[in-house]
Amino acid sequence: MSQAKNMINTAKLVGLNGRYTHSCLALFYLRNELEKHCPNWTSEILQFTINDNYFELLLRITAGNPTCVFFSAAIWNSELVEKLTRDMAVCLPGCKVVIGGPQAFVLHGLLDEVNHSAVFGAIEAIDQQFYRDLENGTLQPCYKADFFKMPSRSYDYPYRHTDFDLHLANRHIYYESSRGCIFGCTYCLSSVERGVYHKPLDVVKEELRDILSHSPKVVRFIDRTFNDIPKRALSLWEFLLEEGGETLFHFEMAPDRFTEEMYTFLERVGSGRFQFEIGIQSTHKETLKAVNRPVETEVVHTAIQRLAGLGTIHLHVDLILGLPYETKDSFATSFSEVFFMGADYIQMGLLKILPETPLCYNAQEYGYKHSLVPPYSVLASRWMDHETVQDLYWFSECVEKYMNNRYFVLVWGYFRRHEENIFTFFQSLLALCQKNLFFSHAPTHELMCKNLITMFQGRHDSEVLMDLLRVDWLRCNNRFLPQWLLPGENEEQPQETKDRLIAILPEEVEGLFSRKTRNGFFRKTFFLRIQKKHLTEMNLFAGADGEVLCFLTERERNLHSYAKVLVL
């Protein structure tokens, strides 16, 4: 019996996200297209995470005997989608499974003997035959859809009011004001389908206004290059700054597409409103040319430094380990150059040889050895043997643990100003971490601090580094110094500093405490005496004449919510 003769056809649209705060934008587009073309069907959006209990996932997806189940498949969930599809063929043999998303092509090959259909491309561009086949129960093995070959390119607003309380509560909201990529990087699937479409600005603002009416905590623009048209980006920024409330907006940016007008505007943006993800990939010119991403390192350096200098925008920059022509030495240079640019977060991901990309087709030429299952990680290349890849992977993990947080900002700032050989420093830190099995333990602030203390021993600047470490510790809202972080025996201890201030300070200090609040101020505040020459190294207290830091219980309104600090 065909599905057309059934009284009710039901579709479950399943997203398997990396974590709970993520959401799957594709499901909302799919739901709207199904309702438009198959009005007699009912659809249900289900969002899970890849860490959920597998059997419970299977039970919830198959509950109610759905007519069809749609999966959005990506690198992080494709193995789970494959497993679910195979098990559904056993427990619900009459249920149709449709797989879309970036991994649909790969899964289609792996599931050749399992009844399913695959959609390659954007659901908005699919031929009407797909919906006729769906309603008649005669789905074909695969369907191709090319958004950039549509006679009139467009995609509808994905959300409705009820979504924000039901499907998007406590999750990041994903939105695309443009689709496609201006670049053609050989390692990326975007290089396969070329073209860029920008939604009209008035439509984008209207849709964003609806999203912002629900006061989301985070809106993530998934535009591949948000600033590919600088004037357009600036117009949207002005709109978001005016109407965005307290929402944090995340953008993927190209470092060579910033204009003076954009820098001037960003000076007005307060902390916690914008964060930028900027793909640098490498600073090695031969590598950038090989992956079709040429950009002048000097331009990148200037852009990152200027953005970092604002101090209000969280900067996340990407390097890729294992690209063509990248040796250990050139990777070390890339890391060092990016470190000195001053970004908050340096992510060094392992290259993935994604099926159907130009790099995949040239893998043999480049001597690539890589995993054949997601995420297709590189294991070796012509320029890096497997041992080198291993070493640099753990190096990257070491940087990830120590740098990509708020714990040691003053220490890294000092290293930048004094031109530390940062690659060598992290190599030595990695050796220490491997010796004491750091990667087998939880990377706590305390454990990392102790390792850095070991690294600082015997250095000519160990005293200033220890002071920086103490201030970093206390700025992170720790209300005491542990025994191993206290000043040396010949230095004034925090309790001695506190007692001295209680004795010498007047009953009232304007802007600090009154007679009534004096005792509370000393009870709640932590005091640390710092050498004046060390204070200048912190680059925080310009013009301060004192030498005692007072760490208050209040927090600053900045990127890291540090404890407020006064100088006496």
Angstrom distance (rounded) from CA 388 to CA 384:
6
Residue range 344-361, pLDDT digits in tens? 999 999 999 999 999 999
Give the pLDDT of residue 194: 81
422 falls within a domain: no
Residue range 172-215, pLDDT digits in tens? 999 999 999 999 999 999 888 788 999 999 999 999 999 999 99
348 and 249 in one domain?
A: yes
Which residue among 96, 117, 149 closes a domain?
149
Q: Are 247 and 175 in contact (CB under 8 A)?
A: no
Angstrom distance (rounded) from CA 174 to CA 171:
9
| Radius of gyration of the chain measured on its C-alpha atoms | 27
131 and 224 in one domain?
A: no
Question: Domain range holding 522?
Answer: 488-567
Query: Above 60 in pLDDT, residue 404?
Result: yes
Which residue among 92, 115, 149 closes a domain?
149
Give the pLDDT of residue 2: 44
Residue range 122-173, pLDDT digits in tens? 999 999 999 999 999 999 999 999 999 888 888 999 999 999 999 999 999 9
Q: What angle do CA 376, 377, 382 make, to 5 degrees?
A: 115
Give the pLDDT of residue 537: 86
Which H or E run includes 442? none
421-439: average pLDDT:
98
278 and 394 in one domain?
A: yes
Average pLDDT, the chain: 95
294 falls within a domain: yes
Q: Which pair of structure tokens corresponds to residue 552?
A: 């208050």
Angstrom distance (rounded) from CA 201 to CA 198:
8
522 falls within a domain: yes
**CA proximity to 33, closest of 164, 150, 195:** 150
Query: Above 90 in pLDDT, residue 565?
Result: yes
SS3 content of the chain, % helix, strand, coil (to 5): 40, 20, 40
Residue 153, number of CB atoms within 10 A of its CB? 18
Give the pLDDT of residue 121: 94
The percent of residues in the chain predicted with pLDDT above 70, rounded, is 98
386 and 256 in one domain?
A: yes
218 and 130 in one domain?
A: no
Which contacts qualify for 491-498: CB closer than 8 Å, 24 or more apart? 491/529, 492/529, 494/526, 494/527, 494/528, 494/529, 497/527, 497/528, 497/529, 497/548, 498/522, 498/527
Angstrom distance (rounded) from CA 58 to CA 165:
25
Residue 129, classified by CB atoms within 10 Å of its CB into exposed (0-12), middle (13-18) or buried (19+), is: exposed
Say which CATH number the domain at 387 has. Answer: 3.80.30.20
Distance of alpha carbon 132 from the chain centroid: 40
102 and 224 in one domain?
A: no
Between 218-222, 381-385, 543-547, the lowest mean confidence (pLDDT) is in 543-547
Query: Above 80 in pLDDT, residue 542?
Result: no
Domain count, the chain: 3
pLDDT band at 5 (very low <50, low <70, confident <90, very high): very low
419 falls within a domain: no
Q: In what order do the strands lie in the sheet with 526-529?
A: 526-529, 548-555, 563-567
Which residue among 374, 403, 432 closes a domain?
403
Angstrom distance (rounded) from CA 568 to CA 527:
10
**CA proximity to 394, closest of 357, 351, 439:** 439
Question: In 476-526, where does DSSP find H-type helix?
Answer: 494-504, 518-524
Q: Which pair of structure tokens corresponds to residue 152?
A: 């009139």
328 and 234 in one domain?
A: yes
Residue range 20-48, pLDDT digits in tens? 999 999 999 999 999 999 999 999 999 99
- Single-letter code of the amino acid located at 235: S
Q: In what order do the strands lie in the sheet with 274-281?
A: 173-175, 218-221, 248-253, 274-281, 314-321, 345-350
Angstrom distance (rounded) from CA 41 to CA 253:
40
- Single-letter code of the amino acid located at 64: G
Q: What angle do CA 467, 470, 473 make, to 5 degrees?
A: 150
158 falls within a domain: no
Question: In 220-321, where does DSSP find H-type helix?
Answer: 230-243, 260-266, 285-290, 297-310
201 and 130 in one domain?
A: no
Q: Are 455 and 432 in contact (CB under 8 A)?
A: yes
Count of all residues that appear for the chain in the document: 568
Which H or E run includes 194? none
Query: Above 70 in pLDDT, residue 216?
Result: yes
Residue partners of 511: CB distance under 8 A and separation at least 6: none
541 falls within a domain: yes
Angstrom distance (rounded) from CA 287 to CA 321:
11
258 and 137 in one domain?
A: no
154 falls within a domain: no
Residue range 517-528, pLDDT digits in tens? 999 999 999 999
185 and 144 in one domain?
A: no
255-280: average pLDDT:
97
196 falls within a domain: yes
Between 6-10, 130-134, 506-510, the lowest mean confidence (pLDDT) is in 6-10
Give the pLDDT of residue 543: 64
In DSSP terms, which residues pair with 15 in a beta bridge? 47
Q: Are 176 and 223 in contact (CB under 8 A)?
A: yes
Angstrom distance (rounded) from CA 64 to CA 473:
54
Give the pLDDT of residue 4: 44
**CA proximity to 357, closest of 75, 23, 3:** 75
Say which CATH number the domain at 97 has. Answer: 3.40.50.280
pTM of the model: 0.94
Query: Above 90 in pLDDT, residue 390?
Result: yes
Give the pLDDT of residue 246: 94
In DSSP terms, which residues pair with 276 in a beta bridge? 251, 315
Query: Above 70 in pLDDT, residue 366?
Result: yes
78 and 28 in one domain?
A: yes
Residue 3, number of CB atoms within 10 A of its CB? 18
Q: Are 508 and 518 in contact (CB under 8 A)?
A: yes
129 and 177 in one domain?
A: no
